[in-house]
């Protein structure tokens, strides 16, 4: 099952329902993490943010 998260600035999203995870790639010039979190919370999905993958990307640079 594929679910798409449509929001301005979101490049891609992936949902793992079994693990209750949502991965989002977004354009920082069009939206912010805060805005995405607020939108998710308004729809009833209060996110728990893990920046593990972001930290791994930054150390590879």
pLDDT tens per residue, range 21-53: 888 899 999 999 899 888 888 888 888 887 776
Per-residue pLDDT at 58:
54
Interatomic CA distance for residues 23 and 57, integer angstroms: 14
pLDDT at 51: 73
């Amino acid at each position: 099952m594929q679910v798409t998260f449509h929001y301005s600035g979101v490049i891609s999203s992936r949902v793992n329902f079994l693990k209750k995870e949502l991965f989002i790639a977004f354009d920082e010039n069009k939206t912010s993490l805060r805005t995405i979190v607020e939108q998710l919370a308004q729809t009833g999905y209060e996110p728990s943010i893990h920046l593990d993958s972001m930290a791994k990307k930054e150390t590879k640079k």
